[in-house]
Chain A
């Protein structure tokens, strides 16, 4: 249920979004604004939490490939 609420909120927000023109992407083009700005940090975090918790993935494909879980 919570998941549906989040999904609904995001879709609602995206529907309200105004179109950003290509020449208005100065902020979005900053490296730290990339959703994959720190891929190695993300990989390390996924590996640690996959080893210690029962959940994995979400951001991309689930962690795995180790005998730690």
Chain B
């Protein structure tokens, strides 16, 4: 296309864009002295009465002169339900001491044990500030805080970006640090200590904490009038208490694979098998490479991304995501979404511990550190109101399925379910508005 044609087309497109979107433009954050809000209500529900989460969030953005912005996000979560403890299924009912050490719960024969004693409410606040520094630099800073019954998080982050090449290229760097304190009811268990009777806290210690340092380097590149791509490299270094205080492993017979039976002390209640609390290394380094692209095919917009992650726990993961935003009329759109995720198990992932063998230094039967694939399929529908606001709703289905390495399955374990599938429904409602 010659330059004259190109300029004509550009002016025509710009004129159409201005006229066409005048009514349906979403709340503009670029207007100064204005607040804009993005709110959401989320339901996350796993099948088989496992974790249920209801979450509400509101993000407020205040625009000031000279492209300076204040961002505030407040989130409240309520979690209930049951979560896999890590213990293996057995042909008899299994009784466990709850993480608090104050009561027991029992899993029916043949079922993978779920700890149903968990209930939590979480509040999180994020504050961020963004402003230009000189003509081509943008600076950002943020603080994050969240609190739960037994967990407190405090974090800070800084970011700097610079535009090049008529703002077609942006290089960005960021650093974030956080400290999390954990204070489980009854104390955090000593790693690999045995689960004891109710009221016996000899295997518990006090509070613990972890620090996380994140570094991020990114480049955003405009590839043409319809395409933009971003690539990020992330480095994350966690240190401290990285063990999950609620996860356990069964100690099993080396031939049958059945959990070793145990009897509570006279007059006490407690576990009817031998279980040990998990143990993870006290440091973890993760590295990831993330690439995303957005391309407009006329009015429809395609988003796709890839992420590769590796860490020094032996976990490698790959994530691919694609979404296609398809306009319906002048004010609505529909957006099918698909995500695929796969990960390998951690080096210290163990389905169970073998009775009579020396304890490993680290061991976890947490399925989240296991070998699994996951698919999320969803659909989003959005509508711009005549007043310039936007509502949208999103429904997704998350399916996770994994397996235990064959060489870790012992005796009778082979005929029992080892790695439970996880299916969850996610329903979200969003409303964006301005004041």
CA distance A16 to B221 in the complex (A): 11
- Which residues from B are CB-within-8-Å of A52? 368, 374, 398, 400, 422
- How many interface contacts (CB-CB < 8 Å) are there between A and B? 198
CA distance A17 to B407 in the complex (A): 50
Q: A44-B55, A48-B44, A61-B157 are contacts. A53–B343 as well, Cβ < 8 Å?
A: yes
Main secondary structure, interface of A, reads loop
Decide if B236 touches A6 in the complex (CB within 8 Å). Answer: no
CA distance A38 to B178 in the complex (A): 24
Quick one: which of A1-45 are within 8 Å of B by CB? Answer: 2-3, 6-7, 10, 13-14, 16-33, 35, 39-41, 43-44
For A23, give its contact among B14, B25, B178, B216 (CB under 8 Å). Answer: B14
Verify if B155 is at the interface (C-beta below 8 Å from A).
yes
Decide if A20 touches B234 in the complex (CB within 8 Å). Answer: no
- Which residues from A are CB-within-8-Å of B38? 39-40
For B428, give its contact among A20, A23, A44 (CB under 8 Å). Answer: A44
CA distance A66 to B153 in the complex (A): 7
Verify if B290 is at the interface (C-beta below 8 Å from A).
yes
Decide if B150 touches A67 in the complex (CB within 8 Å). Answer: yes
Give the Cβ gap from B139 to chain A, nearest Cβ, in Å.
Answer: 16
Decide if A31 touches B120 in the complex (CB within 8 Å). Answer: no
Give the Cβ gap from B25 to chain A, nearest Cβ, in Å.
Answer: 8
Decide if B428 touches A41 in the complex (CB within 8 Å). Answer: yes
For A20, give its contact among B155, B168, B220, B291 (CB under 8 Å). Answer: B168
For B309, give its contact among A10, A20, A33, A55 (CB under 8 Å). Answer: A55
Interface residues of B (CB under 8 A from A): 6-7, 10-11, 13-14, 17, 21, 25-26, 38-40, 42, 44, 55, 57, 59, 73, 75, 77, 79, 120, 122, 124, 144-146, 148, 150-151, 153, 155, 157, 165-169, 174, 176, 178, 180, 182, 212, 214, 216, 219-226, 228-232, 234, 236, 244, 286, 288-292, 294, 296, 301, 305-309, 311, 313, 315, 317-319, 325, 333, 341, 343, 346, 368-369, 374, 394, 398, 400, 422, 426, 428, 430
Given A28-B228, A55-B315, 13 additional A-B pairs, CB 8 A = A20-B224, A23-B11, A23-B14, A25-B225, A28-B225, A32-B301, A39-B59, A40-B73, A43-B73, A54-B311, A55-B309, A58-B232, A61-B214
Can you list 6 pairs linking A and B with CB atoms under 8 Å apart? A29-B17, A40-B39, A53-B317, A54-B315, A59-B290, A64-B155
